[in-house]
Structure 1
Amino acid sequence: MRFLLRFPCILLFVCSSTFVTAQSDTLMANHECRIREGMPNSLQKLQAGQQVTIGYFGGSITEAGNGWREKSLNELQQRFPKASIKAINAAIGGTGSNLGVFRLKQHVLVHQPDLVFVEFAVNDSNTPTSVIHKSMEGIVRQIWRQNPKTDICFVYTLNEPMVPTLLAGNLPNSVVAMEQIAQHYGIPSIHMGLELIAKARQGEVVWKGVQADHPGKIVFSPDGTHPYSETGHTFYATAFARSLTKLMNVTKPVAHRLPKPFDAENWEAAKMVSLQDIARSQDWQVLSPETDSVAHQLRNRFTYLIKSSKPGASLTIHFTGNVLGVYDVVGPNCGQYTVSVDDQPDTDYPRFDSFATYYRSSFFFVPIDKAGKHTVTLRVSPKQLDKAAILKTRNKTIDNPAAYQENACYASQLLVVGDLAN
């Protein structure tokens, strides 16, 4: 049994496959690196000068150029100069583990990685603990179902809203939830921001600002979340290097085992399914990156993308399962979906928000009450969104009305835990 987790002077109890999370943010001491079972297989290959493929799986903090991802890769290349290292940037800004678990196969596992770094703590900040458990455990189990010799390491970054909790000596809720999964499976973890917290206690850190306005201080980021390369990301990379030294003490190859699930309803079966073969009305257009500007902008996100601006244009999905979502687009010319599930009342899903001054990949889940057979219909809504009012909530204005005039819906893939029916 691995449901009794031990930490210094602390006992953390699990009463069932569903974790009891009351006051869980006070139950774990902060440690920069928890070695657990380590990353022995990939480190052994690196030390032997072999070829190693590393997947970097996360949000915008991992996606960023000249950030911790590239800096950690440089560290590995310097320590293991004879090894051939292939890095996969499988990070998508603004997304968390609840999308990651669905896209893992297509974006990471297809590359047959030897090591996967998983970074979603910041983007999962407002995600319910139960969903983090399901998605993070689903990620782990998918990786080890494919190859039990693939190493996994959870990596935690931070943003300004997490700082009070960390200064109080506690871990943010998203990190607590991920640590519970890491402990259950023996996965190492690195909290790359704890040195910054130590310096913040000494009054040395400004979390959001411009360096020129704060001489003698460490200015972490321009916005409280996305670190400057020369400050926040450099601290992350230094923490990674310290942790790597500790992890190198465990290099005996192993086949990682899959114990009894932490949550019996985890999303190990999560998958992405193209909408290419899904029943739809005639008012949908298949977009090409060569001829459509939105498809071109998002060509690294979508291999297949459809669009309709016709009110009532529909997509109909028949499936058996308990989770269904849509991987789509949010942006200036987007409107909203009206979604019906079986005989339940319709629900509207706006595909425009206060950040929609540009196009980005996004997703949403439809409400499924319980596992079983379901029919879901998505329709382009005739309702007009007040885009100017939505943008005004972030003090943004519409500078080019023509770019916002359309009320389109886009779709690329379904997010499914279950199976589609014919």
Structure 2
Amino acid sequence: MNRFMLTALLCTGTLFSASAQVADTATYLAGVKAELVKKWPKNRTINLVFHGHSVPSGYFRTPDVRTMDAYPMQVLTAVKERFPYAVVNAITTSIGGENSEQGEKRFKKDVLVHQPDVLFIDYALNDRAIGLERSRKAMEKMIKMALKKHIPVILLTPSPDLQVDLLEDGNVLEQHTNQLKALAAQYKIGLADSYAAFRAVAAQGQALKELMAQSNHPDRKGHTLIAQQVLTYFGQL
């Protein structure tokens, strides 16, 4: 299969099915969860690192940044409630406006230096600007670098842009979602499907603008929806 056929299949979702081996939510972070339940003096600091663009950075209505309302901090809060003896950091290495190619270039010095116990990557919303093939290459480089250091990786599918109809089959965000699903299955890593969560809301008839601070940035409720997808990997919260 050549690269152009692969891209076409990814765009239509043909390469991904319910049976694809994306990492299991119950077992993928078993080692991390085993560390999170340890009490002093046997515990250690656990670093959750969130790499991506403006959404994990906490941008609401630009230039307003609401770090404590964004999903990385919501995840930290929920993990701490679940694991009260744990020392946990939520480290955001995201930059507003960035795409995965830019994020890959600074990956070693800005991300790996934090020695992540879990790495979350969220670039798909901005990767529309560079296209599927370039996005796949950059994402794959970051995945490989992390896995080489035995770091669990969880990819995030895109949150909405109100200019894109999530209910339209084959829309550009769905194309990037399908590509990320295929990458997660290929490398047997985690996937937090933000896109599916927001699409389900839209399918129920709720206006997505009620979950958005501006066209391409979720508000606190929207970030909660993303956090819920991430938290499935940390057990019942």
TM-score, normalised with respect to structure 1: 0.47
- In the alignment, what sits opposite 1:61? 55
Q: Once the 2 structures are TM-superposed, how far is the Cα of residue 243 of structure 1 from its aligned partner?
A: 4.7
**Map of 1:320-359 to 2, 5 A cutoff?**
none
Match of 2:187 among 177, 185, 188: 185
| One-letter code aligned to 2:8 | A
Q: Identify if the C-alpha distance between structure 1 residues 18 and 197 changes in structure 2 by more than 3 Å, giving closer, same or farther.
A: closer
Percent identity for Structure 1 against Structure 2: 24
Is 2:140–2:183's contact at 8 Å kept on the other side of the alignment? yes
- In the alignment, what sits opposite 2:230? 240
Deviations 1:260-311 (A, max 9, x none): xxxxxxxxxxxxxxxxxxxxxxxxxxxxxxxxxxxxxxxxxxxxxxxxxxxx
- In the alignment, what sits opposite 1:86? 89
Q: Once the 2 structures are TM-superposed, how far is the Cα of residue 234 of structure 1 from its aligned partner?
A: 1.9
Q: Once the 2 structures are TM-superposed, how far is the Cα of residue 125 of structure 1 from its aligned partner?
A: 2.0
Considering fraction of residues, name the structure with more strand: 1
| One-letter code aligned to 1:238 | Q
Q: Identify if the C-alpha distance between structure 1 residues 72 and 169 changes in structure 2 by more than 3 Å, giving closer, same or farther.
A: farther
Find the structure with the greater CA-based Rg: 1
How far apart, in 2, do the equivalents of 1:52 and 1:19 lie? 41
Is 2:153–2:190's contact at 8 Å kept on the other side of the alignment? yes
Q: Identify if the C-alpha distance between structure 1 residues 87 and 206 changes in structure 2 by more than 3 Å, giving closer, same or farther.
A: closer
| One-letter code aligned to 1:198 | A
Residue 106, structure 1, aligned to residue 97, structure 2: no
Deviations 1:225-263 (A, max 9, x none): 11111x2112222333345327x9xxxxxxxxxxxxxxx
Match of 2:12 among 21, 26, 37: 26
Residue 226, structure 1, aligned to residue 217, structure 2: yes
Q: Identify if the C-alpha distance between structure 1 residues 167 and 190 changes in structure 2 by more than 3 Å, giving closer, same or farther.
A: farther
Is 1:54–1:116's contact at 8 Å kept on the other side of the alignment? yes
Deviations 1:163-192 (A, max 9, x none): 534554886222222222211111110112
How far apart, in 2, do the equivalents of 1:75 and 1:110 lie? 25
**Map of 1:165-314 to 2, 5 A cutoff?**
165-166=166-167, 168=169, 172-207=174-209, 219-229=210-220, 231-245=221-235
Is 1:96–1:124's contact at 8 Å kept on the other side of the alignment? yes
Residue 143, structure 1, aligned to residue 146, structure 2: yes
Unpaired stretches in structure 1, ≥5 consecutive residues:
1-14, 208-218, 249-422
Considering fraction of residues, name the structure with more helix: 2
Structure with higher RCO (Cα < 8 A, 6+ apart): 2
TM-score, normalised with respect to structure 2: 0.80
Q: Identify if the C-alpha distance between structure 1 residues 123 and 16 changes in structure 2 by more than 3 Å, giving closer, same or farther.
A: same
- In the alignment, what sits opposite 1:116? 119
Is 2:201–2:208's contact at 8 Å kept on the other side of the alignment? no
Is 2:11–2:179's contact at 8 Å kept on the other side of the alignment? no
Q: Once the 2 structures are TM-superposed, how far is the Cα of residue 198 of structure 1 from its aligned partner?
A: 1.9
Unpaired stretches in structure 2, ≥5 consecutive residues:
59-66
- In the alignment, what sits opposite 1:157? 158
